[in-house]
Every structure is written in C-alpha cells, then in structure tokens.
C-alpha cells in the first residue's frame, strides 16, 4: 500500500500533468498563442488557425477543462480569453524552452526567415536605439483587435492585409520595423517583403508583445471604442520586471 506522502506526490504530479496533456497538441498551442494576443470568438480562432469551428470548439473545451482559458457569452457568440497573464507567460516559457533545446525548431526558423529573403530580425536594443534617434518607425501588422489588446508603445497599427493600400502613411526617410505575434509568426515577414518591393527600408522584429513586456519595456492598450485606432489615445501599461531572457 502506498504511503500518505506517496499518494500526495502522485496526486500533485497528476494535476501538473493536466496542463501538459491540455497543451499536447499543435492546434491547441496555436490557439493559446492566438489567445495570448487578444480574446477571440470560436469563429475567429477557427479562421486564424485554419480549423473547422467544430474542431476548434473541441480543442477549446480541453483547454478550458485545464483552466487555461475562460469563456463568456456575447449575444449569439462565445468569446474566449486566457484565464490570466500566467498562461501567456507559460506559453512564452514553453516557446523559449523549445527554442533553446530543439535544434529542429531552430533549423526550421533559420530556413524560413534567413537570407536571401532578407528577413533576418533586428533585436530590441538596436530597435530602441533607432527609434530614439528618429531613424525607425515601428508598425504592428497584426489584426486591429490584437493591437487594441496590447502593443509596443508608439507602434502604428497597420494590419498586413491593409498594408498595400496604406503605404502612403509610412515615411520613406526612416527604417520601417514590422512585428507581429513572435519569432515564428509570418505576418511581419510578409510585411517586410511587401515593403521592400515598394522601395522601403524594412526589417522584422521577432519579439511578441509578451516578449516586450517580459523585458520591462512599455506596452500600450487602446480603450474599447467605436472610433478608429489612430484617433484613440493609447493607455500605457506599466511593464513587468524582466525575469527571463530569450
């Protein structure tokens, strides 16, 4: 018969395993990444992840059972969100751990983002120096709802789907730095390619907003409103104290 101490340890690890089981799916990891950007409906998540609504709903129920996400009814829709910031931190820590230990992941990233595509990323210190000198403009190429939920302070919202029609809004005498959801998001890479084809000096920032916040750098949110993003003054969120490096 197991001792009381052994039973306790078994039950503790059983609860911890609930988390690993919940995220043991490529699709559910992508859903967590999307929800790390902003709350979303099932329909929106299904579209972004290229899944059926029914399949997306099943994955969300597994994540919800592990208390990684919550849901609330909004009319005929259900909107999902992370239960709290620790879930976003958990996803980011997992991504950093994988990048540090899985050579296959590093190879995939280098193969996709490396030259001659010209999409090697700029690091945050170099970016801050350029912005302070007035040499760079930062653009957030994620969907507007993600920008509203949290963005690098001072960044301009230019969703990648709108970028081609809004090139006139960008200065041609500065470097354009595009960022999206993190180092494995392809939106910024696509934006950089488009900008370079139209004669802009463009580079990719591989940080996500969560990375920016984790390193103690300022993040802003846009209050919920019906007016365009550009006309709403952003509210700066105090940065967290950096505790991890990437």
For every one of its 246 residues, what pLDDT tens digit does the chain have, with 9 covering 90 and above?
889 999 999 999 999 999 999 999 999 999 999 999 999 999 999 999 999 999 999 999 999 999 999 999 988 889 999 999 999 999 999 999 999 999 999 899 888 887 544 455 677 877 888 888 888 999 999 999 999 999 999 999 999 999 999 999 999 999 999 999 999 999 999 999 999 999 999 999 989 999 999 999 989 999 765 434 443 444 555 555 444 433
Phi, psi dihedrals of residue 81, rounded to the nearest 5°: -150, 160
For 81, the token pair is: 């969100």
For 7, the token pair is: 């039973």
Phi, psi dihedrals of residue 205, rounded to the nearest 5°: -100, 120
The CATH number of residue 27's host domain is 1.10.10.10
- HSE-CB at 177 with a 13 A cutoff on CA atoms is 23
pLDDT at 74: 84
pLDDT at 2: 85
Do both 38 and 117 map to the same domain?
A: no
pLDDT at 241: 45
Beta-bridge partners for 156: 139
Do both 124 and 216 map to the same domain?
A: yes
Let me know: does 176 contact 137? Beta carbons within 8 Å. yes
| Count of structural domains within the chain | 2
pLDDT at 121: 61
Asked if residue 116 is part of any domain, the answer here is: yes
Do both 70 and 135 map to the same domain?
A: no
Angle at 188 between CA 185 and CA 51, to 5 degrees: 40
Asked if residue 99 is part of any domain, the answer here is: no
Do both 73 and 189 map to the same domain?
A: no
Question: Is 180 a residue of the active site?
Answer: yes
pLDDT at 138: 95
In 3D space, the residue among 244, 234, 164, 168 whose CA is nearest the CA of residue 212 turns out to be 244
Distances (CA, A) of 191 to 106, 127, 221, 228: 22, 17, 22, 21
Let me know: does 127 contact 177? Beta carbons within 8 Å. yes
Domain boundary among 54, 83, 112: 83
The pTM score is: 0.84
Pick the catalytic residue from 31, 34, 180, 219.
180
Query: What DSSP designation does 212 have?
Result: H
- E strands, the chain, are 40-41, 69-74, 77-82, 121-122, 136-140, 151-152, 156-157, 175-179, 202-205, 219-221, 235-237
- HSE-CB at 102 with a 13 A cutoff on CA atoms is 11
Q: Which residue range(s) make up the domain with 60?
A: 4-83
Do both 111 and 65 map to the same domain?
A: no
The CATH number of residue 186's host domain is 3.40.250.10
Asked if residue 243 is part of any domain, the answer here is: no
pLDDT at 130: 82
pLDDT at 115: 54
């Amino acid at each position: 018969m197991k001792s009381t101490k052994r039973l306790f340890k078994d039950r503790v690890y059983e609860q911890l395993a609930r988390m690993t089981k919940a995220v043991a799916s490529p699709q559910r990891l992508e859903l967590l990444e999307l929800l790390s950007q902003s709350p979303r409906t099932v329909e929106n998540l299904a579209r972004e992840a290229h899944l059926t609504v029914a399949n997306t709903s099943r994955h969300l129920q597994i994540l919800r059972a592990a208390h990684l996400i919550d849901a609330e009814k909004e009319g005929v829709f259900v909107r999902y969100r992370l239960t709290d910031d620790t879930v976003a931190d958990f996803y980011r820590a997992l991504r950093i751990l994988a990048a540090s230990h899985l050579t296959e992941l590093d190879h995939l990233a280098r193969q996709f983002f490396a030259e001659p595509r010209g999409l090697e990323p700029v690091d945050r210190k170099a970016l801050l120096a350029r912005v302070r000198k007035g040499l760079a403009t930062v653009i957030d190429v994620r969907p507007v709802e993600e920008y509203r939920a949290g963005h690098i302070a001072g960044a301009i919202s230019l969703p990648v789907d709108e970028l081609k029609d809004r090139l006139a809004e960008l200065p041609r005498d500065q470097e354009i730095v595009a960022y999206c959801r993190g180092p494995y998001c392809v939106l910024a890479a696509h934006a950089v390619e488009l900008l370079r084809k139209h004669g802009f000096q463009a580079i990719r920032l591989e940080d996500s907003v969560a990375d920016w916040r984790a390193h103690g750098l300022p993040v802003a949110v846009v209050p919920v409103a019906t007016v365009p993003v550009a006309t709403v003054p952003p509210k700066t969120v105090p940065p967290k104290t950096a505790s991890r490096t990437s």
